[in-house]
Amino acid sequence: MAHHLAEVMQEAEIAEGDDKDLACERAVDLILKLWSHRQNLPNGAYPLNDLKALMSVVERLSPEASPYKRLRLDESEKLLVKIFDGLRLVVLHSAIMISETRNLPSDLESVKPFLDEDERKFIEVVEGWQNYVKTGIPLPPIVFLPEDGEKELDSRQDEIAELQKLDPKSRSKRIFAKKIDEMIEALSDLKSKLAKQEPTDESS
């Protein structure tokens, strides 16, 4: 189809009068048809091609994927919510930190108007995560914060100020390590709680 489009565009360039108008119309129709199949274009022609792996991670680790989205939770389930949120943050943080998504493709701004709503929203989420990885401060597009994430931010302004003194790479590692520590603490609490729930051996 791309080869055919090149021929039609060449015809439109050299045609005159009504023939030129018709050729231009055919070229536009072909371009729109080709663009509608952009995710399947070869050779990395899809603008978000480099972000496909991250898109998959984000979709699987959204808050809606949590099995604990209920109003009433017991103490063990609250710990599981914390662990799930922590795991999401750790995986998404590392996906941004170690992948090429640290810098979005330079041509994304020019194609944004032609992307669908989900694609534009995804780019905003990635940009928000990039800011979180670099600074520890989420931008509004980030919709994947832990429970009570904004309250957590308000309560740690001193920590944020301290992070600002670090270079981006060190800051990112510090935030990443802190999230891992929080997960380990939650897992330890859950382990202790489960141990207390074990039935006692009455024969001993």
Per-residue pLDDT of the chain (204 residues; tens, 9 = 90+): 666 777 878 887 888 888 888 888 888 888 888 777 777 777 666 777 777 777 777 777 766 667 766 667 788 888 888 888 778 777 777 776 666 555 566 667 777 787 888 788 777 777 776 666 666 555 444 444 444 444 554 556 677 677 777 776 677 777 778 878 888 888 888 888 888 876 655 544
102 and 75 in a common domain: yes
Give phi and psi for 166, each to the nearest 5.
Answer: -90, 155
Rounded Cα gap, residues 35 and 172, in angstroms: 36
The number of distinct structural domains making up the chain is 2
Whether 202 maps to a domain, the answer reads no
76 and 154 belong to one structural domain: yes
pLDDT reported for residue 142: 42
Structural domain boundaries enclosing 98: 48-196
Residues 25 and 77 in one domain: no
Asked if residue 161 is part of any domain, the answer here is: yes
Q: Which two tokens mark 51? A: 């972000």
Residue 24 forms part of a structural domain = yes
**Contact call for residues 177 and 73 (beta carbons, < 8 A):** no
pTM of the model: 0.48
Radius of gyration of the chain (CA): 25
Q: Is residue 132 part of a domain?
A: yes
